[in-house]
Amino acid sequence: MANATSTEISKVGEPVAPLNGLVLIGGRSLRMGEDKAGLVYHGKPQREYLTDLLRPYCQTVYWSVNSGQLDALRDTGMPLLPDVENPRPGPLNGILAALDHDPASAWLIVACDMPLLTDRSLRALVAGRNPACMATAFYDTDGQFPEPLLCIWEPDSGPIVRNAFNRGMVSPRKLLMLNQIELLAAPDLRELTNVNSPDERGELGL
């Protein structure tokens, strides 16, 4: 398992940026009808389960939150990163907030709506990381496009994300498709399954 405090050297002899973790919990959960980050699948709220998964690989794990969550979560003891203000909601607002907060670090991003995720996928993603690219991601469940919400975003992606944000882009997947990234085959595609509604949760028996 990765040691979050160790200094790593890339294959070309350059230091590898340290890795922070970010759990995206700032979505409005409209289809689910309740906060997806608070759902219990593994004996604890999903945001806490994912935090525990990320900690072995990251120097610090943050929660990406919307402005309305700040007061409610302030006493959890977790470091909170408010989304960049944007009239267009979406995960890119949280990703950009993280890259702005610590531009010298890479960020391992995980969405809160992947209840089947285990350490197996995180271990494979970190092992396959290519710091020479702006990001490292798995192919999504369709096997055609990158999965942006289980992804390592390198420091060099910061200006690219900021420029896309300023141009009105809201899709992190499209952003990854337009740039040089490392794409990996997920060890178990089922772990990338998004659960966004009670029906989808019921189909998985969760």
Enumerate the domain spans of the chain.
Answer: 19-203
pLDDT in tens, the chain (206 residues): 344 433 355 544 568 999 999 999 976 654 565 678 778 898 999 999 999 999 999 999 999 998 778 887 888 889 999 998 876 778 999 999 999 999 999 999 999 999 999 999 999 999 999 999 999 999 988 888 999 999 999 999 999 999 999 999 889 999 999 999 999 999 999 999 888 777 787 787 77
Tell me which amino acid residue 46 is. Answer: Q
Instruction: Output the pLDDT for position 7.
Output: 39
* C-alpha distance across the termini of the chain, in Å: 28
Q: What is the pTM of this model?
A: 0.88
User: 19-203 is classed in which CATH architecture?
Assistant: Alpha-Beta Complex (3.90)
What is the DSSP code string of 162-200?
Answer: HHHHHTT---HHHHHHTS--EEE--S-GGGG----SHHH
Q: How far apart are CA 116 and CA 188, in angstroms?
A: 10
Instruction: Output the pLDDT for position 5.
Output: 38
Instruction: Output the pLDDT for position 78.
Output: 92
Which pair of structure tokens corresponds to residue 99? 């890259």
Cβ–Cβ contacts within 10 Å for residue 174, how many?
A: 15
Q: How far apart are CA 122 and CA 140, in angstroms?
A: 14
